[in-house]
């Protein structure tokens, strides 16, 4: 058995049955990372010694749990006491966290083995992982193309089987969009379901930790472990987590036939690559054949999603990133400061001008402008009112359906550098994902098939959106689709 070619649950069960050991599984993933990461740049930092130590503790019975021995990768914006937490930025290149993020700590409390930190767009700002200060991550299906963003390192690692699962953060689609174009399952739960304590903030009212995996069942198990109230995070929800959340084969539990909503705003003629349209049509047929009722829903404020999101997100980022002033974060140096230079500034990290990349600076400037006196009502307050209208659209839609089916992205992965000079075109990659963050509802991207470009198959995805805190039903609806298709079982040849 090759531990790297299984699902998370299959590997967990094999370790429990002692047909393989946690150490063997961890070493197999570390070997695979060593072999393939130079070409993919999926990991920014690997903590191999720590991972092997944890795996040994599982093998001798010192560490147990629902995820005992399973190797998992985490995005570089999630704090962990081992290694550095850099957010793929020069500003935090040498930052060592004194604590571990709640979501990660809960995984470790159930026996998970953390392999290291995955590459990302700097401070999670981007849709391609081209904005990392540590180089571009590559898509395993075609290394000339992006793996999506901002969690592109996590999606690349998952697609290339460099981890049994990986964590990402989703502020406007940064899990679902990369999952779609790398052919894996990407899940963003309801805002507040998973604690954000220890997640370095981009936009606090939008950020949400979620997962990448190969199956809906793996996603559900990870969610079962991480969900729940955290007293250290005032925005985490005090709502009970269903004991049977991990059971994706259970009843969908509707009052009548399953109702799948279709919004005309997501299906504008000519807006999507033909492969995306084909994937959507196939998904709709799967649900029809399963006896679901297809109902049309109206989301009239969808067109305002992108501008609303980029006002709210940049405003919050300009506030959150104000703490990085060149003094409070960084590392001490042994070199004495040049004559006349401020010794305090020399002892710590780079200035903001040196430490931040171009995209982070762009968003700070946009957000500061939107919040400035005389413009806050014109832009920020209007965006907040629009956000309430978007959330209201979903509330109304879910009165007539159990989940909404739509594309995840408009097309497959684009080539590295293709949109580097057009930030607006890059922002439009999130057109099908940002509204879920604005409304705070859960969403999941599932492998939907392939587009053929340059003689290579490139994954595309389909997306399901659900009611707030109704993840159990959403995951079971997603599993219904997964059972009837074979897309997620195909993996890239690397």
- Determine the pLDDT at residue 169: 98
432-467 as b/e: b if 16+ CB within 10 A: bbbbbbbbbbbbbbbbbbbbebeebbbbbbbbbbbb
- Determine the pLDDT at residue 355: 86
Half-sphere exposure of 14 (CA within 13 A, CB side): 20
Within 10 angstroms of residue 93's Cβ, the number of other Cβ atoms is 19
Task: Answer for the pair 156, 133: CB distance below 8 angstroms, yes or no.
Answer: no
- Determine the pLDDT at residue 346: 42
Half-sphere exposure of 230 (CA within 13 A, CB side): 20
Half-sphere exposure of 280 (CA within 13 A, CB side): 25
Longest dimension (CA), the chain: 77
315-350 as b/e: b if 16+ CB within 10 A: bbbbbbbeebebeebbeeeeeeeeeeeeeeeeebbb
Task: Answer for the pair 140, 40: CB distance below 8 angstroms, yes or no.
Answer: yes
Task: Answer for the pair 248, 476: CB distance below 8 angstroms, yes or no.
Answer: yes
**For 227, which DSSP code?**
B
Task: Answer for the pair 181, 412: CB distance below 8 angstroms, yes or no.
Answer: yes
- Determine the pLDDT at residue 412: 97
- 425 phi, psi to nearest 5 deg: -60, -35
Catalytic residue flag (residue 150): yes
Task: Answer for the pair 4, 161: CB distance below 8 angstroms, yes or no.
Answer: yes
CATH number of the 3-257+399-489 domain: 3.90.1300.10
Q: What are the structural domain ranges in the chain?
A: 3-257+399-489
Catalytic residue of the set 66, 75, 90, 472:
75
Strands lying side by side in the sheet with 259-263: 43-46, 113-118, 71-75, 165-169, 209-213, 185-188, 443-453, 456-466, 403-407, 259-263, 293-297
Tens of pLDDT along 188-213?
999 999 999 999 999 999 999 999 99
Consecutive H or E run containing 439: helix 434-439
Residues paired with 451 in a beta bridge = 458
- Determine the pLDDT at residue 423: 79
Consecutive H or E run containing 371: helix 358-371
- Determine the pLDDT at residue 214: 98
Catalytic residue flag (residue 174): yes
- Determine the pLDDT at residue 487: 85
- Determine the pLDDT at residue 426: 83
**List of the chain residues with pLDDT < 50:** 331-334, 343-348
Catalytic residue of the set 89, 127, 166, 174:
174
Task: Answer for the pair 370, 311: CB distance below 8 angstroms, yes or no.
Answer: yes
Task: Answer for the pair 63, 54: CB distance below 8 angstroms, yes or no.
Answer: yes
Catalytic residue flag (residue 489): no
- Determine the pLDDT at residue 364: 95
- Determine the pLDDT at residue 321: 94
Give the CA distances from residue 370 to residues 200, 320, 323, 374, in Å, rounded to whole numbers and listed in that order.
Answer: 22, 14, 19, 9
Catalytic residue of the set 150, 155, 169, 223:
150
Task: Answer for the pair 113, 3: CB distance below 8 angstroms, yes or no.
Answer: no
- Cα 78 vs. chain centroid, distance in angstroms? 12
């Amino acid at each position: 058995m090759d531990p790297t070619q299984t699902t998370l649950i299959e590997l967990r069960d094999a370790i429990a049955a002692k047909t393989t050991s946690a150490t063997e599984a961890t070493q197999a993933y570390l070997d695979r990372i060593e072999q393939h990461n130079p070409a993919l740049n999926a990991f920014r930092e690997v903590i191999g010694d720590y991972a092997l130590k944890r795996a040994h503790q599982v093998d001798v019975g010192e560490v147990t749990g629902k995820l005992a021995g399973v190797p998992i990768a985490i995005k570089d914006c999630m704090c962990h006491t081992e290694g550095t937490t850099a957010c793929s930025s020069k500003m935090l290149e040498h930052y060592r966290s004194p604590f571990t993020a709640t979501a990660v700590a809960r995984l470790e409390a159930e026996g998970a083995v953390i392999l290291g930190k995955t590459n990302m767009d700097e401070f999670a700002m981007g849709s391609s992982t081209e904005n990392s200060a540590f180089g571009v991550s590559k898509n395993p299906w075609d290394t000339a193309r992006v793996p999506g963003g901002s969690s592109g390192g996590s999606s690349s690692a998952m697609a290339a089987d460099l981890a049994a699962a990986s964590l990402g953060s989703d502020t406007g689609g940064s899990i679902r969009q990369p999952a779609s174009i790398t052919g894996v399952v990407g899940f963003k739960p309801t805002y507040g379901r998973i604690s954000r304590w220890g997640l370095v903030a981009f936009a606090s009212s939008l950020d949400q930790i979620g997962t990448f995996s190969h199956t809906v069942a793996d996603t559900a198990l990870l969610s079962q472990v991480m969900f729940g109230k955290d007293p250290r995070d005032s925005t985490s929800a005090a709502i009970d987590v269903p004991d049977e959340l991990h059971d994706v084969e259970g009843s969908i539990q509707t009052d009548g036939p399953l109702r799948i909503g279709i919004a005309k705003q997501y299906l504008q003629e000519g807006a999507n690559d033909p492969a995306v349209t084909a994937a959507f049509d196939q998904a709709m047929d799967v649900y029809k054949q399963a006896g679901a009722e297809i109902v049309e829903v109206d989301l009239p404020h969808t067109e305002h999603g992108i501008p609303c999101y980029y006002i709210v997100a940049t405003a919050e980022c300009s506030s959150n990133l104000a703490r990085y002033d060149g003094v409070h974060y960084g590392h001490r140096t042994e070199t004495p400061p040049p004559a006349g230079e401020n010794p305090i500034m020399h002892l710590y990290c780079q200035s903001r001008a040196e430490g931040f990349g171009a995209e982070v600076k762009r968003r700070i400037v946009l957000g500061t402008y939107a919040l400035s006196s005389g413009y806050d009502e014109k832009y920020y307050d209007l965006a907040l009112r629009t956000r309430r209208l978007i959330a209201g659209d979903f509330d109304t839609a879910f009165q007539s359906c159990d989940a909404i089916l739509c594309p995840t992205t408009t097309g497959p992965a684009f080539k590295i550098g293709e949109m580097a000079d057009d930030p607006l075109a890059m922002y439009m990659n999130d057109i099908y994902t940002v509204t879920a963050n604005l409304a705070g509802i859960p969403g999941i991207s599932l492998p939907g098939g392939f587009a053929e470009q340059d003689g290579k198959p490139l994954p595309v995805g389909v997306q399901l959106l659900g009611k707030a805190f109704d993840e159990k039903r959403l995951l079971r609806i997603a599993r219904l689709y997964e059972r009837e298709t074979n897309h997620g079982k195909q993996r890239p040849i690397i």
